[in-house]
Amino acid sequence: MADSILILGGGFVGLFTALHLRQLQCSCPVILVDRSWSFVFKPLLYELLSSEVKLELICPTYDELLHNSGVTFVLGAVESIDLRQKQVQLNSGLQYSYRHLVMALGSTTGYLGTPGAEDHSFPFRAPDDVFALGQHLRNRLQLAAQTTAIAGANIAPSRPRA
Ligand SMILES: Cc1cc2nc3c(=O)[nH]c(=O)nc-3n(C[C@H](O)[C@H](O)[C@H](O)COP(=O)(O)OP(=O)(O)OC[C@H]3O[C@@H](n4cnc5c(N)ncnc54)[C@H](O)[C@@H]3O)c2cc1C
């Protein structure tokens, strides 16, 4: 729909922009695009790691969050944006025209050029990162429980490469 407000990315910025626009009873159709079915409430990722909250609590689906809001959710990864033609191409093959575009695609993990930081640390932005870190901690605890050597035990962190 060429008269729509197209919001790319359903994180805090994109999701709340979409809901706010509907609250203001904006007359244009509002379309929210994200590559995932569910929102991630990042401030509670620590509690997911410590098993104080369940995944469903911090990752509600966009269908749940946008129910009856008037916002249309589209699943897909943004592949390209043509600002001149006002068109966005998704990896699903779908193409969207827009009147207004909101880019809210977030950021990526940065290491500020620190040598070794990427190899010896875990990213912590998504549930999969939490599960990888949790598994690593459990493995290290098992290893520590099995070793009799106190000094010189090699339990320095090193992240398994994907
Ligand atoms: C562990 C942790 C704890 C935090 N705690 C706090 C806190 O307590 N208080 C606070 O103020 N901030 C906190 N933050 C920071 C806060 O989460 C970020 O500032 C916020 O998420 C940024 O919102 P955003 O919408 O810009 O990006 P994001 O939340 O990253 O959202 C970007 C969205 O874009 C989607 N996307 C990306 N690329 C594409 C693509 N090509 N196609 C389609 N969709 C795409 C992603 O799936 C994602 O849903 C925390 C962050 C982390 C990692």
Q: What is the CATH number of the domain that holds 70?
A: 3.50.50.60
Distance CA 105, CA 17 (A): 13
Q: pLDDT value at position 147? A: 85
Q: Residue 30: CA atoms inside 13 Å, Cβ hemisphere, count?
A: 23
Is the pLDDT reported for residue 98 higher than 70?
Answer: yes
Q: What is the identity of the amino acid at 59?
A: C
**How confident is residue 148, by pLDDT bands cut at 50, 70 and 90?**
confident
Residue 35 within a domain: yes
pLDDT at 97 over 80: yes
Distance 102 CA to ligand 1 centre (A): 15
Rounded average pLDDT over 124-133 = 96
Confidence tier at 26 by pLDDT (50, 70, 90):
confident
6 lines ligand 1 (CB under 6 A): no
Pick the atom of ligand 1 nearest to 91's CA: 42
Q: With bands split at pLDDT 50, 70 and 90, how would you rate the model's confidence at 99?
A: very high
Q: Is residue 162 part of a domain?
A: no
Atom 32, ligand 1: residue with shortest CA distance: 106
pLDDT of residue 2: 77
Q: What does the pLDDT read at residue 116?
A: 96
Query: Mean pLDDT over residues 33-57, rounded?
Result: 97
Residues whose CB falls within 8 Å of the CB of residue 81, separated by 6 or more in sequence, listed in order: 8, 87, 88, 89, 101, 103
The reported pLDDT for the residue numbered 127 is 97
**10 located within any domain:** yes
Please give the residue that has the higher pLDDT: either 139 or 147. 139
The region of weakest confidence among 17-21, 43-47, 152-156 is: 152-156
The pTM (predicted TM-score) of the whole model is 0.90
Range of the domain at 40: 5-103
Measured in degrees and rounded to the nearest 5, phi and psi for residue 62 equal -65, -30
Report pLDDT digits (tens) over 59-71.
Answer: 999 999 999 999 9
Q: Find all residues with CB under 8 Å of 106, minimum gap 6, and list them.
A: 9, 11, 13
Banded pLDDT at 1 (limits 50, 70, 90)? confident
Is residue 46 a part of any domain in this protein?
yes
If one compares 25 and 34, the residue with the highest pLDDT of the two is 34
Residue nearest (by alpha carbon) to ligand 1 atom 42:
77
Q: For residue 110, is it within any domain?
A: no
Total domains, the chain: 1
Is the CB of 125 inside a 6 Å radius of any atom of ligand 1? Answer: yes
